[in-house]
Amino acid sequence: MSLRVSRVIAAVALLPTLALADIPPPRAEQKPAPAKAPEPAKAPAKPSKQYSIEQFMATTKLAGASFSPDEKKLLYSSNETGIFNAFSVPVGGGKPTQLTQSKTDTTFAVSYFPNDERILFTRDQGGNENNHLYVRELDGTEKDLTPGDKLKATFQGWKSDDYSAFYVLTNERDARFFDLYKYDAKKYTRTLLYQNDGNYQIADISRDEKWIALGKPRTTSDSDVFLYNVAQKTHTNITAHKGIVSNSAAEFDPGSTALYFLTDGGSEFKRVARYVLATKKVEDVERADWDIMYTYFSKNGAYRVTAVNEDGRTAIRLWDVKAGKQVALPQMPEGDITSVVIARSEKRMAFYHNGDRAPSNLYVHEFATAKPSRLTNALTTEISAEDLVDAQVVRFKSFDGMEIPNILYKPHQATAESKAPALIWVHGGPGGQTRKGYSAVIQYLVNHGYVVLGINNRGSSGYGKTFFTADDQKHGREPLRDCLEAKKYLSSLPYVDSSRIGIAGGSYGGYMTLAALAFHPDAFNVGVDIFGVSNWLRTLKSVPPWWESFREALYQEIGDPAKHEQMLKDISPLFHADKIKKPLLVIQGANDPRVIQPESDDIVQAVKKNKVPVEYVVFPDEGHGFTKKKNEVEAYSRMLNFLDQHLKKSGTAPMN
């Protein structure tokens, strides 16, 4: 499986949902019955032990998997040293080996070379997202394959008929557009395969190199797939349609006979279809009662892997292509199997498994045996999983009757006799999704006595096309009102103290936090804004140049700064900061290319004029999302201290 699959995840998100061990990022035609409100909590059998942020951050984050040529080792990324680096581990178990030694810049493993143990990896500079592609030679030396200033490079997969070359996207010619290059796997010389003058998103290359699949978004919910004929240099729209339909390329089949793609044409939910190259016919392949997130083939096509976004969790389907039936997955504890990688021999697979109380661990599974082998231990031995909590999927009706799904975390300590303070946690996006699975920061807050409700307000992905588009150019209004209704839901729970409810989130969730404090100043006790948008006019004008293919879609979603100036001012908290009167914590990465530091600088300065308690934390070596443990420790300890001071110790009920 190539890394290009990962770009199926919503490119729209200002804050992508960073499920590091998943290849999501993030709808049933017949919705499940609304979940009942949780029953009043009984006293726990034993008190929950509280852990420090250092202990929670001692948990190791893992990502990616690539088999070595002899399939005896797996390459992956780990932050066990405090920052992400590349590691390998024997498939038979044993001590991992660290392959890259960066102490300053986040490094992610990409792939073993198919015929030797060189590796490809990516690295940016302090979170600026200008990733370069590097090779680690057999002697341990490193070479930048995409040198230059202010360029971004992405690995696009191997020429998998003979592995003599690999594909790379770079925007070096024009910062706005990614061109496709073919690199020789031995000499690293390269040739230009496709110059992207049409502002397309390059998705896949057929194994015979006759076709290139391209994406063309018009809005966040309306897009087409184009086929580029390499010999004839022609583009063909294979998904021309009327109305709003989301189409995105998955990959070509191993025989280069068809392009598989995802579409929600005629449905609320995305399904798998294929375009047959010889006949130009489109055929449906696979459906689910929710969105299908991605699908891809193993090397020789014996298997096809599909992931379904099933009510906030990942459900993997493994297909035996020849037999046309599903293959049973390994029996695992409660949680999700994600990021399945099938070895070239097609005799074994690697995957991650996680649960609400268990961070992602890397496994290998031999198809001839029944029991998989775990290769990593991500949760620190200092934390007992019994002291953590399972999440519940809950729903409530919003102000207009729309059903809002959420992920609810309840502390062991919270009872009707000992009511707990609560936080509404808003995901990034717009268009992200709060999902089940392990979150160190949420478990940390819950462990210290906070109820956390991860809201999937209207506009979130995963719950149907109608729900996803329900926030278009309504930001700061209807989606925010969902958060107000979430507060009412929390207040109805017998173990929640309705006089102590705050709101928090990152990126778009940070915007929602600021908007809640500015437009509904009496609704919440406190706000925690993590690199959130305060001024939409500036953010939309300053998005990274490599978002050019998505710029118009983003304008359709939020608003066009040239056409909707007043509307964007109306929904931007910075222009209404004089209304904010509740304590505010703001956390920002100095190198953030998506929500630039002035967004946070300005809102902090403006709110301070109101004589409101404001705390501001800036990390000089981070971008849009924090990847260094030392910074996570500081950010989240500051968050808990802020909440303990301004939320847990408060007791005056805010007005509704």
Q: What is the DSSP string of 432-445?
A: ----SS--HHHHHH
Alpha helix ranges (H) inside 387-439: none
Residue 32 has pLDDT above 50, yes or no: no
Cα 509 to Cα 14: distance, rounded to the nearest angstrom: 10
To the nearest whole number, what is the mean pLDDT of the chain?
92
Separation CA 454–CA 436 (nearest Å): 9
- Dihedral, 223, 203, 323, 290 alpha carbons, nearest 10: -40
Q: Which residue has the higher pLDDT, 382 or 34?
A: 382
> How far, in Å, CA of 350 to CA of 266, rounded?
35
Is pLDDT at 7 greater than 60 in this prediction? no
Residue found under tokens 């958060």: 483
What number of CA atoms fall less than 13 Å from residue 615's CA on the CB side? Answer: 20
pLDDT confidence bin for 25, thresholds 50/70/90:
very low
The pLDDT-based confidence of 47 (bands split at 50, 70, 90) is low
Integer angstrom CA distances of residue 79 from 63, 106, 265, 474, 627 = 9, 9, 41, 38, 8
CA distance 502 to 174: 44
What's 575-610 look like in SS3?
A: HHHHHCCCCEEEEEECCCCCCCHHHHHHHHHHHHCC
39: number of Cβ within 10 Å: 7
Domains of the chain: which residue ranges? 34-53+382-648
- The whole-angstrom distance between residue 436's C-alpha and the CA centroid of its chain comes to 13
Check if the beta carbon of residue 92 is closer than 8 Å to that of residue 592: no
Sequence-distant (≥ 6) Cβ neighbours of residue 321 within 8 angstroms: 297, 301, 302, 303, 304
- pLDDT of 160 reads 85
Work out the pLDDT band at 200, boundaries 50, 70, 90: very high
626 burial type by CB count under 10 A (0-12 exposed, 13-18 middle, 19+ buried): buried
- Check pLDDT > 60 for residue 4: no
Above 60 in pLDDT, residue 13?
no
> What is the pLDDT, as a whole number, of residue 371?
87
**pLDDT above 70 covers what percent of the chain?**
92
Q: How many residues does the chain have?
A: 656
The residue type found at 310 is E
Average pLDDT value for residue range 430-444: 96
Q: DSSP per residue over 232-274, as a string? A: TTEEEES---SS---EEEEEE-TTSSEEEEEE-TTSSS-EEEE
pLDDT confidence of residue 644: 98
Residue 234, pLDDT > 80, answer yes
- List of residues 6+ apart from 147 with CB closer than 8 A: 132
Task: Give the residue from 87, 118, 88, 86 showing the smallest Cα distance to 105.
Answer: 86
Do the beta carbons of residue 220 and residue 199 sit within 8 Å? Answer: no
The predicted pLDDT at position 8 comes to: 31
pLDDT higher than threshold 60 for residue 26: no
Q: Which pLDDT score is estimated for 34?
A: 35
155 contacts 120 by C-beta, under 8 angstroms: yes
For residue 361, give the 3-state DSSP assignment.
strand
Q: What is the pLDDT of residue 650?
A: 73
pLDDT at 636 over 70: yes
pLDDT tens-digit map of 508-534: 999 999 999 999 999 999 999 999 999
Cβ-based neighbours of 500, under 8 Å, separated by 6 or more: 421, 422, 525, 647, 648, 650, 651
Q: Which distant-in-sequence residues (6+ apart) come within 8 Å of 171 by Cβ?
A: 151, 152, 177, 178, 179, 545, 546
Q: What are phi and psi of 345, to 5 degrees?
A: -70, -15
How far is residue 446 CA from its own chain's centroid? 22
10 has a pLDDT exceeding 60: no
Structure confidence at residue 70 as a pLDDT band (50, 70, 90): very high
Torsion of CA 7, 16, 14, 402, to 10 degrees: 110
Burial 259-269 (b: 16+ CB within 10 A, else e): bbbbbbbeebb
Q: What pLDDT was estimated at residue 2?
A: 37
Distance from C-alpha of 450 to C-alpha of 641, rounded to nearest angstrom? 12
Q: Mean pLDDT throughout 459-474?
A: 96
- Over 276-323, what HEC string results? ECCCCCEEEEECCCCEEEEEEECCCCCEEEEEEECCCCEEEEEEECCC
Cα-based distances in Å from 194 to 3, 204, 213, 548: 19, 12, 11, 17
Of 154, 157, 68, 75, the C-alpha closest to 114 is 68
Q: Per-residue pLDDT for 36 more than 90?
A: no
Instruction: Using a cut of 0.75, tell me whether the model's pTM lies above it.
Output: yes
Rounded CA gap, 587 and 584, in Å?
Answer: 10
DSSP state at residue 7: G
pLDDT value at 27 more than 70: no
Residue 20 has pLDDT above 50, yes or no: no
pLDDT of residue 31: 32
Indicate the fold that domain 34-53+382-648 takes in CATH: Rossmann fold (3.40.50)
Token duo for residue 574: 């910075």
Are the CB atoms for 414 and 490 separated by under 8 Å?
no
391: three-class secondary structure by DSSP: strand
In this structure, which amino acid lies at residue 82?
A: G
As a whole number of angstroms, the distance between CA 13 and CA 6 comes to 14
Half-sphere exposure of 48 (CA within 13 A, CB side): 23
- What is the tally of helices (H) and strands (E) in the chain? 10, 36
pLDDT of 6 higher than 50: no
**Overall average pLDDT of the 372-379 stretch:** 96
C-alpha span between 264 and 463 (Å, rounded): 12
Q: Percent of the chain at pLDDT above 90?
A: 89
The stretch 461-483 carries a mean pLDDT of 97
φ, ψ of residue 576 to 5 degrees: the values are: -130, 20
**Residue 423: pLDDT above 60?**
yes
Residue carrying structure tokens 């500015």 = 518
Q: Is 17's pLDDT higher than 60?
A: no
Count CA atoms closer than 13 A to 451's CA, side-chain side. 32
Q: Please write the tens of the pLDDT for every residue from 343-356.
A: 999 999 999 999 99
**What pLDDT is attached to residue 46?**
47
